[in-house]
Structure 1
Amino acid sequence: MRKHYRIEIAPNNQNIVFCPPSILKGKKINRMAFGSKSIEVHFFPHPDKNDRIVLSKPIQEALSFPDLAVPMHVFLDKQTFHIGPLIGIFTSGFTPFPEQPIGDRTQLFEKLLSVKNSVGAMPFVFGEQHIDWEQGMINGYFYHKDTWQNFDVPFPNVIYDRLPNRKSERNPKLIKVKERLQKDYLIPWYNPGFFNKLDVYERLQQDPLAAIFLPETFPFTSFSIIETMLSKYGHVFIKPKNGSLGLGVHQIIYDKHTGDYFCRYQDKVFANRLRKFSSLEKLFPNVFANQRLDKMLVQQGIHLLRHEKRPIDFRVHTNKDDEGKWQVTAIAAKIAGQGSVTTHKRSGGDIKTIGEIFSEEESALYTEKLSNAALLLSEALERNIEGIIGEIGFDLGIDRNRDVWLFEANSKPGRSIFNHPDLEEFDLLTRKLTIAFAVFITEQSILHPEELFQ
């Protein structure tokens, strides 16, 4: 971990910054920057305090630096002394209520921002309505001492995309904000956009290191594709190309002894259904009435490991750290509900640790297999998808031959697995690394912008 420094505000009126002698040694520095603001200042070594940087009140005000007692990193470029990172977390869905400024998602952001001291960064939440383009300032929401506070701050060093859904992502106004901040202000933007299942599949299929984990997948074009795949695999899944939370997933099973087709799915009131039909031509009008089949894909069925006769898949989180390296940060087993087509909690699924359902030997084997696959897939997605990716939630399966399969990659993974008491420490780790990655991006954007924006 890089060193970060306490920032103190001195009650004097001089244009002076005191900082550790080790930072100033052999360097000529005459400017200080915070986010997009910078000013000329005089630097002096602090004789006693090697772990802190002291700003005068006028410098604090000129840089619009909130005095929140947050330790910060230092980045030196030419003659400029940058303190940061200042991290803007971009989202939508703000409310007029001071204690719940982001509605139901307020607690999620409170937990995310609460790691600021341990990471050494200053994160805040904002939406498009909080930007003052003329002044180059943002009225951001900061979480400090268990309360939300607003401060006007400069444009940030880096922006973390936390738009809540695809609808907000397609909003023309929000698209324009994102383009303007990235192109006109050259602010790095990480985890942009939701993954499209078919797009991810097609890109990874071209990558030999990733292709081995992919179940056969096609866009829905005709019944003949389904018939062909059923004859090969016995069952297939029909999924929305842009679905999430397991919504709209159907499993079709062919019984070669009776010639019947079974469809397992969840209906509109979230009840698990299993229906029998004599042909696909009868199944589809009944089950998929009013659904756009051209927005669906067909995926090979996998015979998964089971626990108490219920299929298991795995959620594996990966995050980039403050060195820009991928780490596996959490693994959980998800057990399907009775008669359910997915492992989601809403349809009766259970979250378990791997150790709860497998022997010690099996746990070690499956953890290693899932970790290796998730790291390879993270690197492959980074190679094949535009934008800066800092976290991914993978839904992986292991079949009876102990081979690993990728079902889905999520650029904005849900956090329901962390409700399990044995996974709370991994919840903290994923939040820390999500913010720590911004330290790495900030350093890259200041010292090696050509690599970041190539």
Structure 2
Amino acid sequence: MAATKIVIHVQNGSLLPNERTVVLSATLMKRWKIPADSEIGLQFGSQRKAVSVVSAAKITSMRLHEALASHLGIHHGSKLCISYSPEARTLRVGPLVGVLVSRTSSDPEKPFGPISSFCRELTSACEAYGGLVYFFTPEDITTSANSIQGWTFTDRWSRQTFPIPDIVYNRLTTRKLENSAGVQQFMRDVKSRFATTIFNEKYLNKTEVFQALQKDEALQSYLPESHLFKNYLTLKKMCGKYGTVFLKPVTGSLGKGIIRITKLANSTYQCHYTGLGGIRSQSFPKLTPLYNSISGKMKTRRYQIQQGLKLLEVSDRPVDFRALVQRGKTGNWEITSTVARIAGNETFVSNLARGGTLSPVQDAIMKSKLISTQKSAVPQRINKAALDIAKGIETQIDAHFAELGIDLAVDPHGKVWLLEVNSKPSKDDNSPLNATTKIRPSVRQIVRYSQHLAKFR
């Protein structure tokens, strides 16, 4: 049964016959054949209550007794989708979305640090399209609980009690928190007890992504040669095949810890390292002393060694492309936005945190030295590659993802290559450069997909 959006009015008990009475529009009751003479279930997230529904001719809202609303965790003024299942005799409102975040700030105006504005935007999107979102941290999780103390925003941030949500959107920003025993137990518990769906449920690492995608022959053309770094022989083999190779931390982000190794014309090797102070370089007469220099890093952190690619350049600066790929109201992968990222001065990484700048894809391509006959086709190739790779992740990796930041490179011949896949894409890097609306498309997609998952679309 198709869902519709409705406003919830919580009423004083004296205005309704009893606390189990729900008032709904006569038009809606007739359309959905909701019985007025017997009990049905009213469900919000994990909470369910037996109610009787009465009709009113001229209302467009749903009216609830304050005691019933309190039991279900529904709040006055909520704008929710509503649907009715005659088979289950259940009236559902929602979706209820819980966002699992790392609380990083004691500032009451920004309780979630730099993503607080995104959290408010997601709240606005739920109000606009139908749904309710709350935010909770690992500290708010109680094993085997039927409810969660979470944060919500109305005119200010406040803590309230909510049911276990229909959907959990994992926005934890560290692997340590994500892999903690409490978080993992919570994820298992809500899936089994309440059929809660969790998306973006884990971080991806570079080795896992490349090994998984390598299994799909249709995706192999996007993949530069890439291996888990093991020993000197791995380095020797890759440096023998390619003039430039990259060593990337398997679990790294923001361009931190990347090492570029280049074989020079005089058979010496030059290393460039990214660090907090920027880029530093060091030369070695042979590969053995180079390996000895970096081997200490390899003992404390796993690295991926990858074929070096010749990237398109804009004003002699390398450029790559970030595609934000999300599932929407149909459940299918869609391109939400694609931007070009131009590396800063004297660096080879394009991350904004490293001095990179954003540019519209078409502008960057037109300013590059790519042969002119190729330029018009490149944006479509980039989008196709991003969608192909997202579908490959879905097929080859046993986890549920709803958004992926896919970093791609284009070489001077117009060939598209995969650099890496980020399962926790930033909410700032990927918005369209000409965004003027209050609710960004990337945020709208999260709500639309949540409605789809919870069967309100």
In 2, Cα distance between equivalents of 1:251 and 1:232: 15
Instruction: Map residues 46-445 of structure 1 onto 2, 5 A cutoff.
Output: 46-49=56-59, 51-74=60-83, 76=85, 78-93=88-103, 95-131=105-141, 136-145=146-155, 147-255=156-264, 257-267=265-275, 269-287=276-294, 289-292=296-299, 295-359=302-366, 364-418=376-430, 421-423=433-435, 428-443=440-455
Match of 1:40 in 2: 50
Could you list the runs of 5+ residues in structure 2 that have no partner in the other structure?
A: none
In 2, Cα distance between equivalents of 1:424 and 1:394: 24
In 2, Cα distance between equivalents of 1:105 and 1:379: 28
- Give the aligned residue type for 2:401: I
| 1:417 to partner: Cα distance | 2.4
In 1, Cα distance between equivalents of 2:323 and 2:58: 46
Could you list the runs of 5+ residues in structure 1 that have no partner in the other structure?
A: 448-454
Cα offsets for 1:364-407 (capped at 9, x unmatched): 52221111111111111111112221100001111122111111
| 1:344 to partner: Cα distance | 1.5
In 1, Cα distance between equivalents of 2:143 and 2:305: 46
**Greater displacement, 106-115 / 195-204:** 106-115
Match of 1:450 in 2: none
Cα offsets for 1:401-432 (capped at 9, x unmatched): 21111111111012342577425659711111
- Give the aligned residue type for 2:175: R
- Give the aligned residue type for 1:308: S
TM-score (norm 1): 0.89
8 A contact 1:7–1:69 mirrored in 2 = yes
In 2, Cα distance between equivalents of 1:181 and 1:239: 35
In 2, Cα distance between equivalents of 1:285 and 1:423: 49
Backbone CA RMSD of aligned residues: 2.6
Aligned to 2:292, the other structure's residue is in SS state: helix
Percent identity between matched residues is: 23
Say if 1:434 and 1:241 are closer, same or farther in 2 by CA, change over 3 A: same
TM-score (norm 2): 0.88
- Give the aligned residue type for 1:138: I
8 A contact 1:18–1:55 mirrored in 2 = no
8 A contact 2:3–2:81 mirrored in 1 = no
Aligned match of 1:13 in 16, 30, 38? 16
Say if 1:23 and 1:378 are closer, same or farther in 2 by CA, change over 3 A: farther
Say if 1:205 and 1:132 are closer, same or farther in 2 by CA, change over 3 A: closer
| 1:202 to partner: Cα distance | 0.7
In 2, Cα distance between equivalents of 1:398 and 1:169: 33
Aligned to 1:4, the other structure's residue is in SS state: strand
Match of 1:451 in 2: none
In 1, Cα distance between equivalents of 2:351 and 2:290: 24
- Give the aligned residue type for 1:129: E
Number of paired residues?
A: 441
8 A contact 2:99–2:171 mirrored in 1 = yes
| 1:122 to partner: Cα distance | 0.2
In 1, Cα distance between equivalents of 2:362 and 2:415: 19
In 2, Cα distance between equivalents of 1:364 and 1:335: 19
Match of 1:452 in 2: none
- Give the aligned residue type for 2:33: G
In 1, Cα distance between equivalents of 2:214 and 2:90: 45
